[in-house]
Amino acid sequence: MAKSNSQPGSIAFTDFAPCAPSYGALASFIAAPVMGANNTPVGTLIFQMPIEQINQIIQASEGIGESGETYLVGTDYLIRSDSRFSEESTILKTKVDTETVKAAIA
């Protein structure tokens, strides 16, 4: 769950998790406060991050060859994007516990 923050310019993210309105499909969200007069919070804009578009960017193979791969990884070392080498979703299912990932997360 995202932390509540109504400061102008603040952004909150939620990690991928099953989402009931999406019939249990994994979903992630980004939110930002909507400010009114005198920077008074009047609401929150929430956007469901489209995994298909994230995957399209992450799975691009230009410049990394036939066997190269890029992926998003959380602090729990679970992948947050689908592997381009897998027919099934790898989100929150595949763990990448390499030295490179450890260094990136540190």
Of all residues in the chain, the percent with pLDDT exceeding 90 is: 37
Average pLDDT, the chain: 87
Given a cut of 70, is residue 51 above it in pLDDT?
A: yes
The pTM is what? 0.71
> How many CA atoms lie less than 13 Å away from 92 in the CB half-sphere?
9
Q: Highest mean pLDDT: which of 7-16, 62-71, 75-84?
A: 75-84
Average pLDDT of the residues in 50-66 = 85
Average pLDDT of the residues in 36-61 = 88
